[in-house]
Structure 1
Amino acid sequence: MAIPFTLRGTDGLWMTNGPPALGTQPDFKRDTSKTCKVFAYSKDGLLFAWCNGEFVNIVNTQTFKLVHQLNLPRTSCMEFSPQGNLLMTWEPYQVDTDAKHGIPNLGFWDVKTGQCVKTLIQKKQTSWAPQWTADEHLSSRNVNNEIHFFEDHNFDVIKEKLHLQKISTFALSPAGPPYMVAGYVPGSKGQPSFVRLFKYPNLSTPIANKSFFKCDKVEMAWNKAGTGVLILTSTETSNESYYGDQGLYFIASNGESMKVTLGKNGPIYHLQWSPKSNEFCVVYGFMPAKATLYDMKAEPIFDFGTGPRNYCYYNCQGSIVCLAGFGNLRGNMEFWDVKQKQLIVQTNAPDTTNFEWCPDGQHILTATTAPRLRVANGYRIWHYTGALLEQVNLEEKKELWEVKWQNQPEETIKDFQIKYKPVEGVPSLPQPETKVAAYRPPGAGGRPASVKLHDYEAPSVVNETAKANKPLTKNQKKREARKAKASQEVSTENHDQSTLMDFPSIGNAETDKKIRNIRKKLQQIEKIKEQQQAGKQLEKNQLEKIQGEAALMKELEDLVLS
């Protein structure tokens, strides 16, 4: 069955089918309004909503029949709740000049009845949508630096509040129960910033706390299973880097926390959890950037080497990860088999501003959209083996603003066998090229340039030897030191015993005992002398022992020759 995708631009809103029915149109009637502001799919893809500047329309994607039409012409953002029971809409905040109070601009609409469940005031567009758990039992929003929690779509009653002084950001785990929430409080007056993890509804006692001194803001990302959250800290300014300082930390739902050790200095460009929730990928470091795969203990398990990339994208099955270089990079795309840790193919999608995996996990949609790029807007459909299946460019002076695959129910997302042989594709349409001669210094004398700009690192599995080279924590250092000391004492004791017994008996038990005692003292003096040669400051009694070495040697000689 073909999975369609939706496009929004100056020609309005329309749909087209993906593989295997490329180029065909579903039964959706194009909306030709040139003021289509926003559209959204429900998580299972069975509902589709959009605003055309007059109404918000909701249709069933199986029949494309209109379900509801809402008189909300100013809607700028919309989103379905995880189970598709509610449609949330946001309009720019306004104040009633007569009543001199704000007009509620965040609406919750029952998809079955089309009735408004609740309206609230949400001034800022940033983080406008409440956060939900996957079962829709719990929803939460930040109100004046206080997190309010609601249960079972009842927005008239605040069930719980998270009180943290000046809390600015939070992240609700999508899974549960148990339900987990992480809250961030920025530092002030020499105090560090911190993130605390709570288990709902016990919001008075945190189960984990992580503090940071170099932090102006954080981004938090839970995995799908709700077993761990990644915290990306950043500062706007730094004496060491133009990009500021960044740090990456991991907190597990059981309260364990640790810093993610990165293998190269530089900014963190992108990170993403695997849909399987058992690993995550990070792209970081000065160009050429490094990409590394980490497990649930924040330990590196595979190093993808370095290359021109600044994004990482998992397919819906978590079996393939694409490392891509977009924006100021030239569109490099590397497709990796996650299980085999093997490169499938490397290709290029120049001028890409939008990348999205198809829910089937085998096809990719890349697009050039406005306002990022206003020239040569269009889209391409790829296969994960690097084959270009379709390329469509809009007419000149026409703009494409947004493009997105239709979501699919989770039960329809199936695993598949990864193949390395490319499927049959189509030739890429010619792109305008500007040839720039390589720079040659004045003293080159016309000789060809031979400067190698970058040395790329090869990918590698992170083995136990590499893990052993990872910097130890304070507790790990203490444990290793205790083990080493105990091992050394046992080894020294065994060595001393074997050395003391390793001499021929004189035949007199009393004389043999005296010889053993003298040899033991001489071995102790030898160790003290080694410490002295290593630069250690000796005690007075240790110096006296060294001075007595000659007398002990004379006494030992007399006993042996007697």
Structure 2
Amino acid sequence: MSALTQSPVPTTSLILRSKTSSTSYTYTTSTLNETTSSSSPCSLFKYSTCGLFVAVKETSGTGEIAIVEVGEEGVKEEGKRVLEGTGKVQVADFSPKSTYFVTWERPIKEGPGNLKIFSTSTGELQTSFHMKNPAVPGVSWPAVEWSSDEKIALRIATNSVFIYRGDAGWSDSSNLLERVSVEGVKQFSVSPGSSYRFTTFTPETKGRPAKVAIYGYPNTKVAVTGKSFYQAEELTTAWSPNGEKCIVFTHTTVDTTGQSYYGSTSLHLLSADGSGEDYAIPLAKEGPVYDVKWCPNPLKPFFIVLSGSMPSQACLFNAKCEQLFLFGEAHRNIVSWSPHGRFVGLCGFGNLAGDFDMWDVNKRKKMGSNSTSAAVGYGWSPDSRQFMVSTTAPRMNVDNGVRIFKYNGAGPITKLDVDVLYEAEWRPAAEGVYPDRPQSPMKKGEPMVARYRPPGAGSKGASFAERLRLEREGKAESKKVDRTTALNAKYRPPVGGAGASKYSGGVVGAAPVGGAPVEKSKNAIKREKQKKKKLEEEKRLKEEQEAQKKLKAAVAPASAPADPGADKEKRIKKVKKLLKQIGELKGKGGGKLNEDQQKKVDGEAALVSELKELEL
């Protein structure tokens, strides 16, 4: 093969789990092609992060979980590994490199551990622990988390976080590396990236504030950073892709201030690298926070926050919490980044109308908008070229199926109706499998993708219903934030009150002031200097004009004889006032006077002479 020959890019694929079966499809040229299908329904399927394995739990037979390999041709039945004793499993997950598979089932009194770790390659049980229900608010899942390279693994227990050798084999009891004592800890989260860091969260109890801390391994004796919060019952963490920053999203079910029916929320950014750069994130629109997501590209340390009463405002921030770009106000509650971080979808799903906008974040331009009804699940294809929306049971028991749109919102280009659909998920892919492709050039004269508009549906003279629609779709224009007005919002501890799903997809409702100045371009600095110089010149001219007026009023009467018909008392008051001002100027103690002030002082003798004549 020639050195210049490139291997073909694999096709994308997805799995649909319905009431009757689980079916694998490949997606090519706007068409879904069925590859494999199970004749038996399944109650669970889970892709590994790399997309090479899928765990399936069929409802027939013993109902145990089987791990099978996945290729372009679909699920491969040969080499299937059945995990014994998993017939009652309710939730499960793969480790980052797909080496291990973690399961949870309801505990049995005096029985073995209900949290189990299996080897993906052999299907053998490695170890087990006891754990409470992960569906209970405040309980972490996955209950065991690995570092990105799987060198270490962490597990939470009562008042402790245990750190293990993640790649040493769990059957060896000596693989426990360290026990970190954290009183009252309920949640933890391991960072991505090459450094070993993790957060711990202790909820508010008995008048004591909630606490978030970040630790680094192997130096776990002292936390790298930590913050305390009031009104923080639950916590959602969002790590930057390189693991250097962590957004902590605290929320409560009840807002004690009475400002929100849905409880209170608070956003802070903590630095895990020891720099001490911790910020309170300045919301572009005050109100509840609906979603916050980092760009998945580690070379682009940006994140988007959706906040404010509907219509909400979406704002792009950098890693110093400086507002970079406002996307405009619209009825949106979900941020969904494409896997490469080039495109982002701002969506109004769940209890909203189903409108969504697709943006090219690199260009800060909207590519198009569309709408879809009854959206429950959503997600990007691993090549960042398609966006899938699904309507699934039990949340929606009618009109189940999937609709696939282009990356710019055009479509739906593919629709598939399913009688009862439980889940729809793209097969993920490892980094580098699909290239990062920019937006395809638009044909000359081709309009931007937009929703259908009835004839005559303009904004002039719009009806009440039309005005509501315009508000729902976004009444505020997008704009670049003026960085010169950024506020310095270094973190300040709150007093008396509080100051997600994967980036590419998720299920609606599943889990859910600025920084230092930004460097300006040379042209921006030049324009700013010119504007400042012009304002200073205008101010100087205005001050000179005012000084000339005062000088004429002070000196002119002294150089001319008093008008015999003038009001003597009024004139005496004015002259005395001027002499008092001159006395104040002379009493400055040697301070330097400007030209106008000096002229006023020089006219003192004339004013004294005039006053004597008036008082005769």
TM-score by length of 2: 0.70
Percent identical pairs in the alignment equals 26
Pairing of 1:208-287 with structure 2 (within 5 A):
208-238=225-255, 239-254=258-273, 255-277=276-298, 278-287=301-310
Query: Which of residues 101, 122, 131 is equivalent to 1:113?
Result: 122
Q: Which has the higher contact order (CA 8 A, sep 6+)?
A: 2
Query: Which of residues 187, 208, 216 is equivalent to 1:169?
Result: 187
In the alignment, which residue of structure 1 is the partner of 2:149? 135
1:555, 1:525 → 2: CA distance? 23
- Tell me the secondary structure at the aligned position of residue 131 of structure 2: coil
1:467 offset after TM fit, Å?
A: 1.6
2:466, 2:105 → 1: CA distance? 54
- Tell me the secondary structure at the aligned position of residue 24 of structure 1: strand
Is 1:45 aligned with 2:69? Answer: no
1:102, 1:163 → 2: CA distance? 27
Q: Is the 8 A contact 1:289 1:306 kept in 2?
A: yes
Pairing of 1:111-510 with structure 2 (within 5 A):
111-126=120-135, 127-129=140-142, 130-153=144-167, 154-155=169-170, 156=173, 157-177=175-195, 179-238=196-255, 239-254=258-273, 255-277=276-298, 278-385=301-408, 386-394=410-418, 398-419=419-440, 421=442, 449=464, 452-453=467-468, 454=471, 456-467=475-486
Is 1:8 aligned with 2:17? Answer: yes
Pairing of 1:533-544 with structure 2 (within 5 A):
none
1:158, 1:222 → 2: CA distance? 25
Q: Is the 8 A contact 2:278 2:491 kept in 1?
A: no
1:474, 1:412 → 2: CA distance? 44
Provide closer, same or farther for how the CA distance between residues 556 and 183 of structure 1 changes in structure 2, counting only shifts above 3 A: farther
Provide closer, same or farther for how the CA distance between residues 391 and 524 of structure 1 changes in structure 2, counting only shifts above 3 A: farther
- 1:143 partner letter: A
1:19 offset after TM fit, Å?
A: 2.7
1:324, 1:467 → 2: CA distance? 27
Q: Is the 8 A contact 2:302 2:319 kept in 1?
A: yes
- Tell me the secondary structure at the aligned position of residue 414 of structure 1: coil
Provide closer, same or farther for how the CA distance between residues 145 and 556 of structure 1 changes in structure 2, counting only shifts above 3 A: farther
Which segment is superposed worse, 251-260 or 282-291?
Answer: 251-260
Q: Deviation per CA, 1:183-212, whole angstroms, max 9, x where unpaired?
A: 112233433222111111222211212121
Provide closer, same or farther for how the CA distance between residues 219 and 524 of structure 1 changes in structure 2, counting only shifts above 3 A: farther
Q: Is the 8 A contact 1:90 1:128 kept in 2?
A: no
Q: Is the 8 A contact 2:392 2:422 kept in 1?
A: yes
TM-score by length of 1: 0.76
- 1:389 partner letter: I
Which segment is superposed worse, 194-203 or 54-63?
Answer: 54-63
Query: Which of residues 59, 62, 69 is equivalent to 1:60?
Result: 69
1:556 offset after TM fit, Å?
A: 12
1:335 offset after TM fit, Å?
A: 0.3
1:168 offset after TM fit, Å?
A: 1.5
Q: Where do 4+ consecutive residues of structure 1 move more than 6 Å?
A: 470-477, 517-520, 524-527, 552-558
Q: Is the 8 A contact 1:316 1:361 kept in 2?
A: yes
Which segment is superposed worse, 410-419 or 399-408?
Answer: 410-419
In the alignment, which residue of structure 2 is the partner of 1:93? 107
Q: Is the 8 A contact 1:227 1:252 kept in 2?
A: yes
Provide closer, same or farther for how the CA distance between residues 243 and 337 of structure 1 changes in structure 2, counting only shifts above 3 A: same
Q: Is the 8 A contact 1:231 1:248 kept in 2?
A: yes
- 2:482 partner letter: N
Q: Deviation per CA, 1:257-277, whole angstroms, max 9, x where unpaired?
A: 110000212211111110114
Q: Is the 8 A contact 1:305 1:457 kept in 2?
A: yes
- Tell me the secondary structure at the aligned position of residue 229 of structure 1: strand
Q: Is the 8 A contact 2:214 2:225 kept in 1?
A: yes
Aligned residue-pair number: 464
Provide closer, same or farther for how the CA distance between residues 472 and 271 of structure 1 changes in structure 2, counting only shifts above 3 A: closer
Provide closer, same or farther for how the CA distance between residues 235 and 76 of structure 1 changes in structure 2, counting only shifts above 3 A: closer
- Tell me the secondary structure at the aligned position of residue 103 of structure 2: strand
- Tell me the secondary structure at the aligned position of residue 465 of structure 1: helix
Provide closer, same or farther for how the CA distance between residues 449 and 458 of structure 1 changes in structure 2, counting only shifts above 3 A: closer
Q: Is the 8 A contact 2:251 2:266 kept in 1?
A: yes
1:392 offset after TM fit, Å?
A: 1.1
Provide closer, same or farther for how the CA distance between residues 306 and 384 of structure 1 changes in structure 2, counting only shifts above 3 A: same
- Tell me the secondary structure at the aligned position of residue 388 of structure 1: coil
Provide closer, same or farther for how the CA distance between residues 473 and 132 of structure 1 changes in structure 2, counting only shifts above 3 A: closer
1:244 offset after TM fit, Å?
A: 1.7
Provide closer, same or farther for how the CA distance between residues 257 and 103 of structure 1 changes in structure 2, counting only shifts above 3 A: same
In the alignment, which residue of structure 2 is the partner of 1:541? none
1:522 offset after TM fit, Å?
A: 3.3
1:412 offset after TM fit, Å?
A: 0.7
Is 1:69 aligned with 2:82? Answer: yes
- Tell me the secondary structure at the aligned position of residue 61 of structure 1: strand
1:84 offset after TM fit, Å?
A: 1.2
Which segment is superposed worse, 7-16 or 102-111?
Answer: 102-111
- 1:456 partner letter: K
- Tell me the secondary structure at the aligned position of residue 39 of structure 2: coil
- Tell me the secondary structure at the aligned position of residue 33 of structure 2: coil
1:364 offset after TM fit, Å?
A: 1.1
- 1:295 partner letter: N
* Structure 1 residue ranges without an equivalent (≥5): 96-100, 425-446, 481-516, 528-548
Q: Is the 8 A contact 1:228 1:253 kept in 2?
A: yes
1:216 offset after TM fit, Å?
A: 1.9
1:252 offset after TM fit, Å?
A: 1.5
1:248 offset after TM fit, Å?
A: 0.3
1:555 offset after TM fit, Å?
A: 13
1:520 offset after TM fit, Å?
A: 6.6
Q: Deviation per CA, 1:304-337, whole angstroms, max 9, x where unpaired?
A: 0100110010001100010000011111110001
Provide closer, same or farther for how the CA distance between residues 21 and 351 of structure 1 changes in structure 2, counting only shifts above 3 A: closer
Pairing of 1:516-535 with structure 2 (within 5 A):
521-523=586-588
Provide closer, same or farther for how the CA distance between residues 419 and 524 of structure 1 changes in structure 2, counting only shifts above 3 A: farther
2:244, 2:184 → 1: CA distance? 26
Q: Is the 8 A contact 1:17 1:25 kept in 2?
A: yes
1:61, 1:448 → 2: CA distance? 54
1:90 offset after TM fit, Å?
A: 1.9
Q: Is the 8 A contact 1:235 1:246 kept in 2?
A: yes
Provide closer, same or farther for how the CA distance between residues 70 and 474 of structure 1 changes in structure 2, counting only shifts above 3 A: closer
Q: Is the 8 A contact 2:323 2:483 kept in 1?
A: no
* Structure 2 residue ranges without an equivalent (≥5): 1-9, 447-461, 494-512, 518-581, 593-599, 610-616
- 1:231 partner letter: V
Q: Is the 8 A contact 1:107 1:119 kept in 2?
A: yes
Which segment is superposed worse, 447-456 or 321-330?
Answer: 447-456
Which segment is superposed worse, 147-156 or 249-258?
Answer: 147-156
Q: Deviation per CA, 1:148-169, whole angstroms, max 9, x where unpaired?
A: 1111344434311221211121
Q: Deviation per CA, 1:406-433, whole angstroms, max 9, x where unpaired?
A: 11121213111213639x9xxxxxxxxx
Provide closer, same or farther for how the CA distance between residues 474 and 138 of structure 1 changes in structure 2, counting only shifts above 3 A: closer
2:194, 2:399 → 1: CA distance? 45
Q: Deviation per CA, 1:372-419, whole angstroms, max 9, x where unpaired?
A: 10001000111112232211112xxx3100110111121213111213
1:338 offset after TM fit, Å?
A: 0.3
